[in-house]
Amino acid sequence: MRYYLIAGEASGDLHSSNLMRAIKEKDPEAEFRYWGGDLMKAQGGTLVRHYKDTAVMGAWDVLMNLGKIKKNFDLCQTDLMDYKPDVLILVDYAGFNLRMAKFAHQHNILVYYYISPKVWAWNQSRVKKIKASVDRMFTILPFETKFFEKHGVDVKYSGNPVLDAIHNRPNKEESFDTFIERNKLDNRPKVALLAGSRISEINYNLPDMLKMVDKFPQYQFVIAGAPSFELKDYQPFIEDADVAVVFQQTYELVQNARAALVTSGTATLETALLNCPQVVCYKMWGGGFTDFVAKKILIKVAYISLVNLILDKEAVKELFQKSFTLEKLENELKALLDDSPVRKQMLLDYEELHRIMGGPGSSLKTATLMLESLKIDKEK
């Protein structure tokens, strides 16, 4: 069969590549055409546009790049119609993909959505668009499945691809000494800084994270370089700081870190599954006004991190907007670096998270469910 996939970020590239690999196991004749990244390209098929050339984040960036966005939509629509796939598989990337879902549905192209837009947290009215344009939804979190079922969406829970990525990660058995030697780091214990994959996230969060460096000189702070960035992108932030940067080794860094400072998102879940104690810290534009709007109008859930959402309690400390202060950040980090009750309880909560999430194999499960669904849908 012919598959057309659209992923717009580094995480989408990772999970789409694993899905493509699994689809090829179930369908040896599979043909792929896609918007994504290098990991998808390694699986074969045709890369139409790299996510580095399509990423536009935040309201201001959208306004400044309306022409670019329209060109990308026009190109994607034309390319999709020329390719005539058996199914369009949309991976996260809600702003772009929900519009493509509507277009494909209007042109009688089967639409599957993998890794749901976070409509349960932001602007729940978008679930109506999903119900109208998406033939089947494949979710990766148990509470998402319940949400979509409640709204009448055809939904299947297929496990979480993060478990596959972590299970298949390189160098997972290497020692701390091997890790620091390979990356030319010193022998101090590490604090990992996961400041996000978007320039806006780094601008708002990394400077405050770096203010912890002088507070804990006995630790080496190491930034996990985002896939779409280069060292020069971090240089303005780290010129005078005793901090290192490693690229394409986020999992290796986190598994060898004593603790981590993490922006909200999938990284919080990955850090927990790697059993690294963390502080979730997230700040964006607008200060108190944005904090008010987010909590009172936009955010419809109790927590901002996936760890806490899945466990339904504040297992990891969340410092969001005005609660993200240097004093609180220092105190929370100190508790995690010490053998404190806070650290011990967090590691116990991680054990419960592992139990709920289960083991690897979600990519193959998703591929199996998709091909079973395709057989049914093609016979309709």
Query: What mean pLDDT is predicted for residues 142-170?
Result: 90
Spatial separation of the C-alpha atoms in residues 255 and 306, rounded to whole Å: 19
CB 208 within 8 A of CB 326: yes
CB neighbours of residue 115 within 10 Å = 28
What is the pTM for the complete model shown? 0.78
Within 8 A by CB and 6+ apart from 144, the residues are 116, 120, 155, 157
What 8-state DSSP symbol labels residue 44? -
Spatial separation of the C-alpha atoms in residues 259 and 277, rounded to whole Å: 5
Torsion angle in degrees (nearest 10) through CA of 52, 282, 151, 110: 10
Q: Which residue did the predictor score with more confidence, 68 or 109? A: 109
Distances (CA, A) of 221 to 132, 185, 199, 312: 47, 10, 20, 30
CB 266 within 8 A of CB 194: no
CB neighbours of residue 378 within 10 Å = 11
**Over the stretch 266-297, which tens digit does the pLDDT of each residue have?**
899 999 999 999 999 988 754 443 444 444 44
Spatial separation of the C-alpha atoms in residues 26 and 8, rounded to whole Å: 25
The number of residues making up the chain comes to 380
CB 272 within 8 A of CB 257: no
- Region of residue 55 (phi > 0: left; psi between -120 and 50: alpha; otherwise: beta): beta
Q: Which of 14-18, 83-87, 200-204, 369-373 shows the lowest mean pLDDT across its residues?
A: 200-204
Q: What is the pLDDT of residue 288?
A: 44
Q: What is the pLDDT of residue 290?
A: 42
CB 37 within 8 A of CB 28: no
Nearest to 304 by CA among 213, 196, 159: 196
Q: Which residues of 155-189 are buried (b: 16+ CB within 10 A; e: fewer)?
A: bbbbbbbbbbbbeebeeeeeeeeebbeebebeeee
Facing residues of 247 across strands?
225
- Tell me the pLDDT of the chain averaged across its residues: 89
Q: Is the pLDDT of residue 31 over 70?
A: yes
Retrieve residue 352's tokens.
Answer: 């419960």
Q: What is the pLDDT of residue 292?
A: 41
Q: Which residue did the predictor score with more confidence, 368 or 122? A: 368
Expressed in angstroms, the distance from the first to the final Cα of the chain is 17
What 8-state DSSP symbol labels residue 173? T
Give 134's Cβ-side CA count (13 Å radius). Answer: 31
Q: Which of 28-32, 48-52, 282-286, 343-347 shows the lowest mean pLDDT across its residues?
A: 282-286
- Residue 197 DSSP SS3: coil
Spatial separation of the C-alpha atoms in residues 178 and 141, rounded to whole Å: 35
Considering the chain, what percentage of its residues have pLDDT values greater than 90? Answer: 69
Query: What mean pLDDT is predicted for residues 350-366?
Result: 92
